[in-house]
Amino acid sequence: MDFSILFSVFLVGLATAMLLFMISSGLTLVFGVLRIINFAHGSLYMLGAYFGLSLQSLFREMGSTFWLTLILSSLAVAAVGGIVELFFLRRVYKAAHIYQLLLTYALVMIIDALVKMVWGLDPMSISEPAALSGSFEMLGRPFPVYALFIILVGFAMTIFLWLFLVRSRYGKFIRAAAADVDITNALGINVPLIFTGVFILGSWLAALGGFLSGPLMVTSPDMGVVIIIECFAVVVIGGMGSLQGAFVGSLLIGMLNSFGAYYIPRLSMVFVYLLMAIILIAKPTGMFGARG
């Protein structure tokens, strides 16, 4: 047993997991509060990457632009999310679930088509900032610095989200709305504002994930539809609406992907969906989900 390889695979799994968590946390939050499965979450993730690409080329002369681009692109997508919620999602809250699902699906089609129109079909790449390039030596094997950075950012994000939701005032409002919308409303809390806010937060997280994933993965017009299914798997396994669930689910899937790709490359993806199916059959509400 070559521990250094095992450790590398483990770290790759961790990095994938953290990235997946950043993206899925937004999806699960939106579901927990708005009770909507946002198919367009993957498209927002993709927009984060593509906005970042354009901003990067815009700022090229200015030198180190990674951080500025990260902030601006994620805020831009957060704004897009706000518009989507205010002008479209609001109209279907009272409608049957299928219409909500199809609304977000329509958005997927629209956003994905717009991305192809503006940026073309060819895959592109986002390069990491100079400060994070190169690799570390871990147990005698090289490991990309950027991937380590992602792991750290993931943990930081987890702590930030946890603190926000558990300790802050707005976090409490959000958790209240997730628990019982009507009573929260009756308490005089501005629920529509919370809905918009959570959707914006979710979009922001997705976009962050999108741009940050750039140096590790290819940026292409189909990255949205591919990631959304992985996010669904995470959220189903962890429990829809549960942030701890999203964390554990991301870890599970990240590790499954990484170890699977190394040991059973042909079947690893099948195992992810197999796990998703098993959870749905055995305990549909997922590992940490409370109610259906």
Stretch that binds other proteins, among 46-54, 104-112, 182-190, 253-261 (CB under 8 A): 104-112
> Smallest distance, Å, CB 224 to other proteins?
11
Cβ 118 to other proteins shortest distance, Å: 10
CA dihedral sign of residues 168, 84, 254, 140: negative
- Given the rule CB under 8 A, which of 22-30, 65-73, 190-198, 265-273 is the region that contacts other proteins? 265-273
- Based on C-alpha coordinates, what's the Rg of the chain? 19
Instruction: Judge contact between 210 and 52, C-beta under 8 A.
Output: yes
Q: Restricting to residues 49-68, which ones interact with other proteins according to CB under 8 A?
A: none
The residue assigned the tokens 């042909």 is 266
CA-CA distances (angstroms) from residue 58 to 67, 127, 179? 14, 14, 44
**Which C-beta is closer to other proteins: that of 217 or that of 235?**
235
Closest by Cα among 157, 174, 143 to 208: 157
> In this complex, which beta carbon is closest to other proteins, that of residue 132 or of residue 269?
269
Q: Which residues contact 124 (CB under 8 A, 6 or more apart)?
A: 53, 218, 219, 220
Among 91, 140, 180, 187, binds other proteins (CB under 8 A): 91
Binding track, positions 202-241, relative to other proteins; x by CB under 8 A: -----------------------x---x--xx--x---x-
Helix locations, the chain, DSSP H:
3-34, 41-58, 66-87, 97-119, 145-167, 169-179, 181-186, 191-213, 223-238, 243-263, 268-282
Closest CA to 244 of 14, 24, 43, 7: 24
Q: Please tell me whether residue 290 binds other proteins under the rule CB under 8 A.
A: no
Q: CA 40, 52, 62 angle in degrees (round to 5)?
A: 165
Tell me if 116 contacts other proteins by CB under 8 A: yes
Q: Give the tokens for residue 208.
A: 């962050």
Stretch that binds other proteins, among 63-71, 201-209, 210-218, 264-272 (CB under 8 A): 264-272
| Of 27, 103, 174, 256, the one binding other proteins by CB under 8 A | 103
Which residues 124-163 are close enough to bind other proteins by CB under 8 A? none
CB of 284 to other proteins, least distance (A): 4
Q: Map tokens 């956003």 to a residue.
A: 111
Rounded distance between C-alpha atoms, residue 186 and residue 184, angstroms: 5
Do 216 and 259 contact (CB within 8 A), yes or no?
no
Q: Does 107 bind other proteins (CB under 8 A)?
A: yes
Cβ at position 94, least distance to other proteins in Å: 12
Cα–Cα–Cα angle for 238, 175, 244, nearest 5°? 25
Number of residues that bind other proteins (CB under 8 A): 40
| Interface with other proteins in residues 19-38 (CB under 8 A) | 37
Residues near other proteins, by CB under 8 A: 37, 88, 91-92, 95, 97-99, 101-103, 105-110, 112-114, 116-117, 225, 229, 232-233, 236, 240, 266-267, 269-270, 273-274, 276-277, 280-281, 284, 292
